[in-house]
Amino acid sequence: MSDPSDTLNCFIVPLAEQHLLLPQPVVAEVITQQSSRQVPGAPPWLTGVVEWRNEQVPVVSMETLLGAPPEPTGNRLQRVLVMHGLEQLPGLSYYAIQVRGIPHPLKVADHDLEPLESEEGDAVEFGHRVRASGVSCVIPRLERIEHRLQENLQRL
């Protein structure tokens, strides 16, 4: 049995076509929003802004950022993960990631992760592919995502 201090509490987060593997401490809350406010001139992966605890929180489509075509929005309820901004960038205390289902908790140790080959055209700039608990996942490079998000928000 492995030492409990060698494990990290994580979430496997379902997206439309893939999964994310995120450490639990970076997730502030999972919320359901009826709609988000669009941001004129934003790139396709910056899908809008939601209000959360009296703050305007930008919403990121990880799948679009990772190279998938943008999904039509429609009027369906959307679930987002509100994330703590790890890089402590000005104006980016929180941001949100669109998700498709409910995150599943998982304890992960190094030996539980199997690196996967990146697919042709894969946007590895923003994540690493691994298999965790039998599920193919992307471990996002949150620091790069936060910097890209801040750069784009400053231009708008």
CATH number reported for the structural domain that contains residue 128 in this entry: 2.40.50.180
With a threshold of 0.85, does the pTM exceed it? yes
Domain range holding 76?
4-155
For residue 27, give the 3-state DSSP assignment. Answer: strand
93 vs 88: CA distance, rounded Å: 6
Give the per-residue pLDDT at 125.
77
Side chain identity at residue 29, one-letter code: E
H or E element in which residue 8 lies: strand 7-14
For residue 110, give the 3-state DSSP assignment. Answer: helix
Tell me the per-residue pLDDT of 90-148, one tens digit each, with 9 for 90 and over.
Answer: 989 999 999 998 999 999 998 999 999 866 545 567 888 999 999 999 999 999 999 99
Give the per-residue pLDDT at 24.
97
Side chain identity at residue 66, one-letter code: L
Quote the number of domains for the chain. 1
